[in-house]
Structure 1
Amino acid sequence: MSDTPTQSHTDERIKTRSRLRESLIRPELGGMIGTIVVFAMFFLFASDSGMFSSQGVMNWSQVSAQFMIIAVGACLLMIAGEFDLSVGSMIGFAGMMIAIFSVTLGWPIWVAILITFLVCTLIGALNGYIVVRTGLPSFIVTLASLFILRGFTIFFPQTIERKTIIGGISDAAVGDWLAPLFGGKILTGLFVWLGENGLIATFDRGSQQGKPVVDGIPMLIVWALALVVVGHIVLTRTRFGNWIFAAGGDAQAASYAGVPVNRVKILMFMFTAFCATVFATCQVIEFGSAGADRGLLKEFEAIIAVVIGGALLTGGYGSVIGAALGALIFGVVQQGLFFAGVESSLFRVFLGVILLFAVILNTYVRRLITGER
């Protein structure tokens, strides 16, 4: 009878260690820790500057949403074992196509948006097809796409309009049924009520007196949250999500097991292009113009957000929630430096430091998973 308690006690110790190990290798862990540290730091050093006022929260939320949209696509693609370095150029290209179609050619804005989505997702499919058919590294294929798309983004407006910035999109979008899906706001009535009851800041002078400083949630944020939710559900609750992990973990073994590896990877390239086009559409509708320099370095920022979120560079491991937290960290830090009165160029320094730290952490996590030394 004395053996039973001893055995039970031993089993509990093993179970406890197992749970601890599982918590340590969760991909979201680094993003969670980073988010807590960043918020704590700016709460201490920038809370008096208005960073956590309604306007301040909206500022860094919108910046975070930009990173989040492209990070979701990059995350799923990286888990599938591939990279897309053309994301930034795709943003600039998509925005310019919408401007040329709607302003230069005079098409309805909804037609311009839909055709742009079709063209960009087909380009994503082409990138994926070249990768799976030739066996070339996606790094090389999409690097070529980066230069091709950026070149076209500069060439088309210069040839047609003799300039690299095309405005007038706001006028073209007036009365359009699709444009508000990317440039509108939701819950405006709620924010008016909050302002009237003194729960959020309102304008105290001029024609806007009495109106809330923040009058709604931009569709950019709605798109970001929707993509995170859908991406997380697909990755963790569906068979296709298992296929994504399998394609990035061991493509050959997955293929032998019946996983359509090539189709999965092509679809992930298409989804990455879709996310970049969502970003571009929200951007041009908000600014009312498209520029040939839009999207510069966004591909690297998306990859860094995903790495901070716990994804392994070797594929087969990662989390959409982690990538979203990485994007949130970016947005908070970028705006937090401004509120704290720190030189904004140090944001790039932060990106380099956090990337190095995330890669070291992920290497340690990979060794925990595989048992390597």
Structure 2
Amino acid sequence: MSTPVKTDPSPAAPSEASNRVSLGLSNRLLARPEIGALVAAIVIFIFFLIVAPAFRSAPAFFTVLYQASTIGIVAVGVGMLMIGGEFDLSAGVLVTTAGLFNAMFCYQLGINLWVGAILSLVLCLCIGFLNGYLVMRTGIPSFLITLGTFFILQGVNLGVTKLVTGSVSSPNINQMAGYDSLNWIFAAEFEIGSITLNITVIWWLLFVLLSAYVLQRTKIGNWIYAVGGNAASARAVGVPVTAVKIGLFMTVAFLGWFTGMHYLYNFNVLQAGNGVGNEFLYIIAAVVGGTLLTGGYGNAIGVALGAFIFGMTSLCIVYAGWDPNWFRAFLGVMLLLAVMVNLYVKKLSTTRKVG
């Protein structure tokens, strides 16, 4: 008498386990801060390829990259600062302060531009240190501290420039000693066939990679996320909260100085009123890139994508032949959508499935 063969229903189990693994991987992928910005960048890129024929050329694309880099360099530091739980509203006018100081100091004294560039860096780092020190020492929100710095620098930029030069612009510095070497470092252009690559694009990508490495691969990066998530808990486990936050403010100041040097050596003359409003563009680039306004969440790649979206839309609206006044409205809509997407992504990343 033969024994009946029993069928084992367990072969279906590996398929179920595979589905769970795939679902888990999908959730983790969707929970990455830069995913929303990547999807938005692809959609906007395709959209403007369709509606803006002028955008379909390589020179136009590299012009977009240059536009993105002028915002993206400072946005790298602003994004790291926001991950650390703070804001800097003085970053836009600090860029102008850096360039004006370099130009006017050297022009009035007739000295090498390198001296002014180094002293300008020292000045910017001191401003960044002061912002961070006041925030940590007084407990006043960084929004208010740096708003005060914003007004001070804006007034100084206009007042001192008018007092020294008799106008609201810096003197032309393209005939002064040190100009050629500084121009090459901060504003060189490379002709590659029909395209022109500005060196700021290269610097921007390098700063993004350095920021990504620091945030994801170093102890300092862990500290930045910790102080942004919960400063009190971070301090309780030995994180030097004060030093980290002051360092972040100084990082923003350094990148602001760097961008100020680019503007000065690219255009040779600066208007004292420039930079007002750019602080919001840096913040928008970070938020669109997945950085939360509450701190503790975001990454450098997302911020770079946010800056690229800014550069693409600001120029492609013109390429498409539309009224450029609509650009600000687009920024507002983009910011609101980014905040909602970021909150959803943050919720998704903290969800823990049971079973």
Question: TM-score, normalising length from structure 1?
Answer: 0.88
Q: Which residue of 2 aligns with 1:197?
A: none
Residue-by-residue CA offset, 1:17-36 (whole Å, 9 max, x unaligned): 21111111110111101110
Residue-by-residue CA offset, 1:328-355 (whole Å, 9 max, x unaligned): 0111111101111001111101110000
Contact 2:113-2:178 within 8 A present in 1 as well? no
Contact 1:72-1:228 within 8 A present in 2 as well? yes
Q: Which residue of 2 aligns with 1:151?
A: 155
Please state if 1:360 is matched with 2:328: no
Q: Which of these residues, 178, 184, 187, is aligned with residue 182 of structure 2?
A: 178
Contact 1:110-1:179 within 8 A present in 2 as well? no
Q: Which residue of 1 aligns with 2:171?
A: 167
Q: Which residue of 2 aligns with 1:347?
A: 327
Contact 1:173-1:285 within 8 A present in 2 as well? no
Q: Which of these residues, 107, 118, 121, is aligned with residue 103 of structure 1?
A: 107
Q: Which secondary structure state, in structure 1, belongs to the residue aligned with residue 170 of structure 2?
A: strand
Q: Which of these residues, 100, 115, 137, is aligned with residue 133 of structure 1?
A: 137
Letter of the 1:25 counterpart: A
Please state if 1:247 is matched with 2:227: yes
Q: Which secondary structure state, in structure 2, belongs to the residue aligned with residue 360 of structure 1?
A: helix
Contact 2:37-2:305 within 8 A present in 1 as well? yes
Q: Which residue of 1 aligns with 2:22?
A: 16
Q: Which secondary structure state, in structure 1, belongs to the residue aligned with residue 102 of structure 2?
A: helix
How much has 1:294 moved relative to structure 2? 1.3
Say how many residue pairs are matched. Answer: 346
Q: Which of these residues, 25, 34, 58, is aligned with residue 28 of structure 1?
A: 34
Q: Which of these residues, 58, 73, 89, is aligned with residue 69 of structure 1?
A: 73
Q: Which residue of 2 aligns with 1:294?
A: 274
Q: Which secondary structure state, in structure 2, belongs to the residue aligned with residue 291 of structure 1?
A: coil
Cα distance in 1 for residues equivalent to 2:8 and 2:296 = 45
Q: Which of these residues, 199, 208, 216, is aligned with residue 228 of structure 1?
A: 208
Cα distance in 2 for residues equivalent to 1:87 and 1:316 = 21
Q: Which residue of 1 aligns with 2:4?
A: none
Residue-by-residue CA offset, 1:177-202 (whole Å, 9 max, x unaligned): 3332112234x4xx2xx3xxxxx3xx
Contact 2:112-2:178 within 8 A present in 1 as well? no
**Distance of aligned partners of 1:5 and 1:251 in 2 relative to their CA distance in 1, 3 Å threshold:** farther
Letter of the 2:33 counterpart: P
Cα distance in 2 for residues equivalent to 1:175 and 1:46 = 38
Cα distance in 2 for residues equivalent to 1:176 and 1:287 = 13
Consecutive unaligned residues of structure 1, counting only runs of 5 or more, are: 195-199, 201-213
Contact 1:173-1:179 within 8 A present in 2 as well? no
**Distance of aligned partners of 1:253 and 1:3 in 2 relative to their CA distance in 1, 3 Å threshold:** farther
Cα distance in 2 for residues equivalent to 1:309 and 1:175 = 36
Residue-by-residue CA offset, 1:215-263 (whole Å, 9 max, x unaligned): x522221221111111111111111111111110111111111111111
Residue-by-residue CA offset, 1:277-327 (whole Å, 9 max, x unaligned): 111110111111011111121110010010010011110100110010010
Question: TM-score, normalising length from structure 2?
Answer: 0.93
Q: Which residue of 2 aligns with 1:58?
A: 62
Consecutive unaligned residues of structure 2, counting only runs of 5 or more, are: 1-6
Q: State percent identity of aligned pairs.
A: 38
Q: Which secondary structure state, in structure 1, belongs to the residue aligned with residue 270 of structure 2?
A: strand
How much has 1:89 moved relative to structure 2? 1.2
Contact 1:306-1:326 within 8 A present in 2 as well? yes
Q: Which residue of 2 aligns with 1:203?
A: none
Q: Cα RMSD (Å) of the superposition?
A: 1.8
Please state if 1:258 is matched with 2:238: yes
Contact 2:79-2:299 within 8 A present in 1 as well? yes
Letter of the 1:231 counterpart: S
Q: Which secondary structure state, in structure 2, belongs to the residue aligned with residue 217 of structure 1?
A: strand
> Which structure is larger by alpha-carbon Rg, 1 or 2?
2
How much has 1:371 moved relative to structure 2? 4.5
Q: Which residue of 2 aligns with 1:209?
A: none
